[in-house]
Amino acid sequence: MKIFFALCVTTLFLCTVKSHHSWWQSMSLYQIYPRSFMDSDGDGNGDLRGIINKLDYLADLKVDAFWLTPIYKSPMVDNGYDASNFTGINYMFGTMQDFENLVKRAHDYSMKVLMDCIPTYSSDQHEWFQKSVAGVEPYTDYYVWKEGQKDDGTMQPPNNWRSVFNGSAWTWNDKRQAFYLHQFTPSQPDLNYRNKDLVEEMKMQKHLLKLFLELLTCGILRGSRSSRPPSKFRDPERSPMQWNNSTSAGFSTYIKTWRPVNPNYKTLNLAFAKVSDDSYYNYYKALASLRNMHAVRSGNLQVKVLENDVLAFSRNKKKKKSVYVLINFSEQNKTVSLMEFENTDPELAFYRASPGLGLTSGSLMNSNEINIPPTATMVFVDS
């Protein structure tokens, strides 16, 4: 956990921003896996109305935009990344009206909505793939098909390409009598962008979604994909959000959620974290607020490695307060000097550290001799 947050701190402060920056260069972005965020109807699955009901939480974190992982119609073989319709909403999450309401409410909070769209493949349940299998024009070559080779009476793939999820990247289809290409699971056939009809079709799909979001005044479209394969076992990062210590951690009124709630929810939950000054929740809020400082938004960046194991960096701007960050990647205490940086004040104000260290914010420390505990992160500002 400490190393994860150390990397988060690095991301918060290392992002160099120009003086005339676009909104996305200095925003605070929150990723939502809708199925695990908040269940509004008690069926054990998170949904769009649940997100609407929790927008106050995002506002409290000073979030500028949130990114929704796929909510399109899908057989959910790969957690929604296998879309069977790029412009329809999966009934599990709600309706198109629910989505419209979400975007409008996000706009009321001055938040932008980012949609996760994967344009490189579809579900094998998509209408295009079904028609491609059947040889219906113009869908015949919407996907990558190869005949393969016969060896001892058995059809073999056209080459030795491997999928990200291991195994051959080619799967045989009896009806088409050919292999189709898939970088991920066999249920996610790759689209063929050498086909001009497909290119135009995808342009239209993207245009329709982008136009819809623009009409709602605050949405944009981006794409991403994790290379981590789906798992039959429990994904900790996809377990239901732990809001409080009530039934199902406050995520749902139903005791049987789509993934089990972590048993630690009784003591590890948002409600508890909010009232604890030394929680990761309040730690993040304190660090995120520093992004409004001139030095962080547009200052010069200096990076150093101290005592072999301590990553140190500063953001400074003339006539503005500077920010200094120390991250100890070792399992031992380290004593370092921030005087290694140019124009450092002899005393700095301690701002925040990894939870659990018991340090008092605002206390002055000797810049030339700072003791940093094992695997800890410490942040300082000019006094």
Which class is domain 127-181?
alpha beta
pLDDT, residue 212, reads: 54
Is pLDDT of 234 > 90?
no
pLDDT, residue 85, reads: 93
Query: Is 294-382 CATH 2.60.40.1180?
Result: yes
pLDDT, residue 119, reads: 87
Residue keyed to tokens 């319709």: 85
pTM: 0.85
Average pLDDT over residues 159-182: 95
Residues paired with residue 312 on neighbouring β-strands, in sequence order: 304, 326
Average pLDDT over residues 264-270: 96
In the chain, beta strands by DSSP E: 29-32, 65-68, 72-73, 85-89, 112-116, 145-146, 149-151, 154-156, 170-173, 178-181, 219-222, 300-306, 310-316, 323-328, 334-336, 347-353, 364-366, 370-372, 377-382
Query: What is the CATH T-level fold of the domain 2-11+18-120+200-285, as seen in this structure?
Result: TIM Barrel (3.20.20)
pLDDT, residue 357, reads: 85
Query: What's the pLDDT tens digit per position in 354-372?
Result: 998 888 888 999 999 999 9
| DSSP-based three-state secondary structure for 370 | strand
pLDDT, residue 207, reads: 63
> Domain residue spans in the chain?
2-11+18-120+200-285, 127-181, 294-382
Query: What's the pLDDT tens digit per position in 93-141?
Result: 999 999 999 999 999 999 999 988 888 999 999 999 999 999 999 999 9
Query: What's the pLDDT tens digit per position in 31-84?
Result: 999 999 999 999 999 999 999 999 999 999 999 999 999 999 999 999 999 999
- What is the pLDDT of the chain when averaged over all its residues? 88
- Binned at pLDDT 50, 70 and 90, residue 208 comes out as low
pLDDT, residue 150, reads: 85
